[in-house]
Structure 1
Amino acid sequence: MLRIGFALLGLLVSSLGYAAQSSSMSLLDNRFRVDPSIKQITFVIYRAQNSQPVVLVRPDGRKYYSHRSPENVRWYQESSMDIISIDNPMPGPWQAIGKVTPKNKIKLISHLKLSADALPERLFQDEEIKFTARLTSDGQPLVLRDFLDRVKLKVTFTKFIENEASLIKEARPVPVEIGEFADDGQGLDERAGDGVFTVKLPISPQPGKYRVRITSGNGVFLRAQEQEVLVYPNPIELAFIQSRQEDQAHQIIFSGEQGMIQPGSLAAHIEHTDAQREMIAVEGAAATKEAMKVALSVPYSGVIGEYSWSGELFATELGSGRELMFPLTQYTYSVVKDIDLAETRRLQEQEREKQLKLLEERRILEAREAQRTKSIVLIAISNVVIIVVGLVAWFVMRKLKAKRAAIPEMQLEMPKK
């Protein structure tokens, strides 16, 4: 569906800067004439359900197809509809060939324009702002439901880099989409089909400088608005003080940053849900014109379980006087049984003694293992020494025996008579 919306918007905004007379006519025998003064034409053709897209035939006989057409033709199709936009169409008689229904009409649109609110140059991280864009024709709201029901816009933040266009594609920062909106009467959009698109934009990017764009796709990169903005850190600090006593309430305290938030402008509304899923609303505002804090008290309940709260914080920017709204996402906390300090200390001491005992047993085992390893090493060394001594003795004995065998026996010579 997002691709559909982008395709439609590509058709719509492609005619920016062109002028043509605004009219609506039925096609006779699927034929229509384009006047030479027309610089851009956008029309819708209804056809039989699940039929093939029509074929457009120019006055000179050249044919345009949904899957094959020149760059000046943008074509969006559904199962029973074709919406086609042509820049600088050839004057003369055109023809649409296909299973066209009697509902077929052509709508010429002139001075089509997409305008949008200018964002504040200074934004704060985590704030939400109401943002509006408008489609007009001849200065009047465009109320063609066949278009508006299919158009979606998106707002993107891109990290600011000097000379971004000179960088290779891989080095350029990636746009981050922070909002998508349609003229559907949902959310902050007040009325469906009135040509006015409204969305609640969450300023989620990290602090820094950004390029902001309203964009749409389908090969046509629309920049209906582009501006540079600075995102500052959140100027609100939040503190939650949980009570442990029945006669003392929980405290939720909001503090504004000096120099950023106008004194006395803080106000907050929260919805608190207890462990039994019962909800109460708590509201409050700064007590004085100079106050930079607002504190809300939430009744204490001794019921054990999970609690949560969420809401909104309102403030005024000091420098510009701009009204700020910060959504408070869901926060949770728990209520548990009262702690018996004496029993807790006893259990902690018991656990400590257990751990010491385990450590001592482990030390003894390690010492025994070390002694056993040492004994095995000594035995092994002794055996090696004995074997070596035995081999040396055997070798020496063998050498001595060999030496004795080599000496001839002494012969006694008797004197001759």
Structure 2
Amino acid sequence: MRIGLTGLMLLYCAVFSATMMADTPQITLLERDGKVNEIPLLDNRFRIDHNVKKITLLFFRAPGTPAVVLVKPDGSKYYATHAIADEKLEWYDEISYDLVIVTDPMPGPWQVLGQIRQDSRVMVLGDIELQVDPLPPLIFRGEMLKIQGQVTNDGQPVDIGYFRDVVTLYVEFVSTNNDQYANFGAGTQSVAEFKDDGREFDERPLDGIFTGEFRLNFPAGEWQPEFYIETPILKRRVVKDPIIIAEPPFSFELMLAGQEDFEHQLTIRLESEVVKPETVIFQGKILYPNGEEQMFTLNGEERLYRQLAIKNYDWGRYSVELSAFGENINGREFMARLPDYNFEIERPIEKVPELPESERPTQRVVTPPEPEPGLSTGAIVAIVVVGNLLILLLGWLAVRIFVQKKPIKLKISLPFIGKKKQLDLEELDQNAENSGKPSSKNDKSADILNLSMSDD
């Protein structure tokens, strides 16, 4: 699929020496002749012709450094923040590059200021094309596929490393929503992202070719592959014809071990209409209920089935992980990760033998305890009434003492207490009268102590 983009020029820049030359730097004119796509950039200066209506400038700088500054021919400057208010300026400030799009640029010599990388080039962007290898016609679910993609400019690979650093190839499979297949309504499956960085499945870094592998780990059915690159610099998408992703050409049959057998038998049957049986090799791992793991390999044979012995560890859950390697009937080698095969043996229920009637324990008849006597209705009513009265009394006392600040005066008159007080008062009055009368002589003589001795 070829998509043209004309009238768009891309300035691809890097850092030069900080020391400015004493002589007047050479100025390069941006023009397109259809043959040369790269022009050296000298002393971070370039010239825009008066016929240019729109230009896209790409400046690669050291990661984490500030955005570059553009100096126009009249001496004024363009900053990244000017794109907010200026409709003729678009600025994408990324971590390692600046993409600047200028509409109706001022003709004349321009200069860029910043920590730009070395080996700068001015690249005139022509017809950009995304080329992707076609997918094989016979594929099935779980298979691992390898693809290659390339971005070209006017039919030639883009031979600038910094340019390829910001390009990522995305792979998607879109369901055709054909109700005849199991993937009806499955939507879009994002499969993989590839970079030309020499990591993971990419074969060589910065060779202009995106190499990658991905697994078809989604439902089988009719799918439409789509490959695209999408960056602030460019957008390209390749839509392939719909393909059929089949179910794996393998089926499984399990024969459980008997009570006296030591192994279960798992039979894997191959479909000779899809694969060559003599080339198919199975490799995987058995997970037993007790946590034990067993690796296995089933080599290629001409027969249409393979048998795998699984140890009988009594009841529990068993799981078999499988990978298949071989060739299909078209002669293409494949590598597939098959879905896990799981089975479970239920725990046996042990039956307890019944005891004879004579040995069974006698059942004791337990009489229910007599209910405790409860309170009568009248007693309950009396308790409720007394409780309410007590609550009212306590509330009244609390209001009088704490709210009204009044003392509690209790006037209680008892007969015997009043009579005793009256007798005490009469006795006091009588004593007072007696003390007021003059005493007699005899009384005085009586008060004198007789100290004389008797004649006897």
Q: Into which bin does the TM-score normalised by the smaller protein fall?
A: 0.5 to 0.7
Q: 1:217 aligns with which of 225, 230, 235?
A: 230
Partner SS, residue 328 of structure 1: strand
Match of 1:201 in 2: 214
Distance 2:124 2:33 in 1: 9
How far residue 302 of structure 1 moved from its aligned partner, in angstroms, is 4.3
Q: Is residue 131 from structure 1 mapped to residue 150 from structure 2 by the alignment?
A: no
Taking a change above 3 Å as real, the CA distance of residues 296 and 33 of structure 1, as seen in their structure-2 partners, is farther
Q: 1:267 to 1:50 in 2, by over 3 A?
A: same
* SS of the residue 1:216 aligns to: strand
Higher helix share: 1
Shift of 1:155: 1.2
Equivalent positions of 1:154-303 (< 5 A) are 154-160=170-176, 175-217=188-230, 222-239=235-252, 241=254, 244=257, 248-257=262-271, 259-262=273-276, 264-272=278-286, 275=290, 279-285=294-300, 287-288=301-302, 291-293=303-305, 295-298=306-309, 300=311, 302=313
Question: Where in structure 2 are there 5+ consecutive unaligned residues?
Answer: 1-9, 12-31, 179-184, 356-456
SS at match of 1:344: coil
**Separation (CA, whole Å) in 2 of partners of 1:251 and 1:190:** 42
Amino acid at match of 1:310: E
Aligned pairs for 1:39-50 within 5 A: 43-46=58-61, 49-50=64-65
Letter in 2 for 1:325: M
Q: Distance in 1 between matches of 2:47 and 2:208?
A: 28
Name which one, 1 or 2, has greater alpha-carbon Rg: 2
2:323 corresponds in structure 1 to 312
Kindly tell me: are residues 175 and 139 of structure 1, through their superposed partners in 2, closer, same or farther at Cα, counting changes over 3 Å? Answer: same
Matched, 1:325 2:325: no
1:117 to partner: Cα distance: 0.7
**Preserved contact between residue 311 and residue 329 of structure 1 (Cα < 8 Å):** yes
Q: Give the superposition deviation at 1:270.
A: 1.8
Go from structure 1 to structure 2 and tell me whether the alpha carbon gap of 1:79 and 1:265 turns closer, same or farther (over 3 Å shift): closer
Q: Cα deviations across residues 263-320 of structure 1 (Å, max 9, x unaligned)?
A: 54533222445656555241322x22xx433x142452749987654242135444x4
**C-alpha separation between the residues in 1 aligned to 2:33 and 2:336?**
41
In structure 1, distance between residues paired with 2:93 and 2:61: 10
In structure 2, the partner of 1:403 is none
Alignment partner of 1:54 is 2:69 = yes
- CA 1:276–1:203: 2 relative to 1, 3 Å: closer
Letter in 1 for 2:40: M
Deviation at 1:59, TM superposition (A): 8.5
Note the alpha carbon deviations across 1:176-224, whole angstroms, 9 max, x for none: 3222222233332223332222222333454443332112335788444
Map Cα deviations across residues 363-388 of structure 1 (whole Å, 9 max, x no partner): xxxxxxxxxxxxxxxxxxxxxxxxxx
For residue 147 of structure 1, give the secondary structure of its aligned residue in structure 2: helix
CA 1:161–1:89 in structure 2 vs 1: closer, same or farther (change >3 Å)? farther
Alpha-carbon distance in structure 1 between the residues aligned to 2:90 and 2:270: 51
Q: How much has 1:43 moved relative to structure 2?
A: 3.5
Q: Distance in 2 between matches of 1:313 and 1:144?
A: 40
Shift of 1:82: 1.8
What letter is aligned with 2:131? S
Report deviation, 1:116: 0.9
> How many residues get paired?
315
Report if aligned partners of 1:206, 1:231 keep a CA contact under 8 Å in 2: no
Q: Within 2, Cα distance between the matches of 1:264 and 1:87? A: 65
Residue ranges of structure 1 left out of the alignment (5+ in a row): 1-10, 163-171, 351-417
1:344 corresponding residue in structure 2: 350
The CA deviation at 1:121 is 4.3
2:167–2:231 Cα contact (<8 Å) kept = no
Spell out, residue by residue over 1:325-366, the C-alpha distance to the aligned partner (whole angstroms, 9 max, x if none): 3212455567898x5xxx72448x99xxxxxxxxxxxxxxxx
Aligned CA RMSD, in angstroms, stands at 4.9
SS of structure 2 residue aligned to 1:225 = strand
Tell me, in whole angstroms, the C-alpha distance in 2 between the residues paired with 1:346 and 1:249. 29
Give the AA of the match of 2:203: E
Residue 254 of structure 1 aligns with an amino acid whose one-letter code is: I
Q: Distance in 2 between matches of 1:109 and 1:161?
A: 42
- What is the deviation of 1:141? 4.9
Alpha-carbon distance change, 235 to 317 in structure 1, aligned in 2, over 3 angstroms: same
1:114 aligns with 2:127: no
1:31: which partner in 2? 45
Q: Is the 8 A contact 1:154 1:181 kept in 2?
A: yes
Contact 1:265 1:315 (8 Å CA) reproduced: yes
Match of 2:36 in 1: 21
- Identity, % of aligned pairs? 24
**Aligned AA for 1:46?**
R
Superposition pairs for residues 76-155 of structure 1, below 5 Å?
76-79=92-95, 81-84=97-100, 92-96=108-112, 98-101=113-116, 103=118, 105-108=120-123, 112-136=128-152, 141-142=157-158, 144-155=160-171
